[in-house]
Amino acid sequence: MDKRERLQRTIAGEPVDRPPVALWRHWPVDDQTPERLAEATIHFQREWDWDFVKVTPSSSFCLRDWGVRDEWRGNPEGTRDSVFRPVQSPDDWARLTVLDPRQGSLGAQLTALGRIRAALGDEVPVIQTVFSPLAQAKNLAGEDRLILHLRRYPDALHRGLETITETTVRFVEAVREWGAEGIFYAVQHARYGYMSEEEYRLFGRPYDLRILEAAQGMGFNILHLHGEAVMLEALADSPVQVLHWHDREGGPALEAGQALFGGAVSGGVGRRTLVLGTPEEVEAEVADAVARTGGRRLILSTGCVAPLTAPWGNLRALRRAVERGASE
């Protein structure tokens, strides 16, 4: 099967020659220009031949034109550390303005997406990372200040979330025009350790649905629930084709997600195993994930970005295990 057919049949729950597989990672330093980000992403795909490409810019790509500044300081996941956040008081949310997605940092990301799309051709599905409005708000204000404003200054925060959402909707529409097959929609606050379901229904879900609605018509949208103790059941009715979460680190298991969701689930390999395990342990987790799901509606991946420190021997083991399973 080609990559598109394999993904389409997996989402539909139909038999496939093997489960689709993909990893993605951050590109520190390279993610500061569209040309270098595209080059790194293309090289990674040509090396490993994943079933799809997730374009992974730095998490500040959608925030720089609002004033966020960050630095690369060696985080093993490849993320950058914020050195300036523009939202310091509740009044600062009202100072955000809707951005033009074809200008500035958002426009640079579209340039990277276009370069990747052109280089890889139509045979490789490409999806664009998009952060939820709450996730963007966290990086604009800081985690503690965001939660403070959410609970003490809700009207001010809602005003900021409106601006962020409108900007993100416009960006998603532009991503569609630039030929992406979908978005990787990253939700970071639908976790019981951060807020209640009621708080997420007020400050997260309405904005999420507006952005996911803008992505309808693209056939390969992934909802990523970040972290532990995620609200999987509360968000399992999201209008996406794939659910992705830290199944090995925080649970629930893949088969539990399949029972809640009619599309495909993605995961199966723990990031700790990918970094510190042996190739044999990586292969064992692949076999376990296939056994748990019956090999149906499964996209093999890790629960989040592959750390920069993951040995290539373990990446080879993941790729080899998938191919081996197809030949047995």
Q: Give the DSSP per-residue string, 216-276.
A: TT-S--EEEE-SSSB-HHHHTT-S-SEEEE-TTTT---HHHHHHH-SSEEEEEE-HHHHHH
Strand 126-131 relative to strand 81-84, pairing: unpaired
For the whole model, what pTM was predicted? 0.98
Cα distances (angstroms) measured from residue 84 to each of 30, 81, 178, 189: 21, 9, 31, 21
Task: Round to whole Å and give the CA distance between 189 and 66.
Answer: 21
Instruction: Using alpha carbons, select from 24, 204, 275 the residue that is nearest to residue 125.
Output: 24
What is the per-residue pLDDT for 177?
Answer: 96
- Side chain identity, residue 197: E
Number of residues that this document lists for the chain: 328
Task: Round to whole Å and give the CA distance between 157 and 91.
Answer: 9
Domains recognised in the chain with CATH numbers: 3-327 (3.20.20.210)
- Residue 301: strand, helix, or coil: strand
Backbone angles phi, psi at 302, to 5 degrees: -95, 170
Task: Round to whole Å and give the CA distance between 20 and 295.
Answer: 10
Radius of gyration of the chain (CA): 19
Residues linked to residue 244 through DSSP beta bridges, in sequence order: 224, 266
Token pair of 72 as six digits: 């690369």
Dihedral, CA of residue 208, residue 209, residue 215 and residue 216, to nearest 10: 160
| Tokens 């330093």, residue located | 29
Instruction: Using alpha carbons, select from 220, 192, 81 the residue that is nearest to residue 142.
Output: 81
Per-residue pLDDT of the chain (328 residues; tens, 9 = 90+): 999 999 999 999 999 999 999 999 999 999 999 999 999 999 999 999 999 999 999 999 999 999 999 999 999 999 999 999 999 999 999 999 999 999 999 999 999 999 999 999 999 999 999 999 999 999 999 999 999 999 999 999 999 999 999 999 999 999 999 999 999 999 999 999 999 999 999 999 999 999 999 999 999 999 999 999 999 999 999 999 999 999 999 899 999 999 999 999 999 999 999 999 999 999 999 999 999 999 999 999 999 999 999 999 999 999 999 988 655 5
Residues 6+ apart with CB under 8 A from 171: 62, 101, 106, 130
Cα distances (angstroms) measured from residue 71 to each of 29, 140, 217, 328: 9, 15, 36, 47
Residues 6+ apart with CB under 8 A from 23: 48, 50, 301, 302, 306, 315, 318
**Contact assessment for residue 141 and residue 91, using Cβ atoms and an 8 Å cutoff:** no
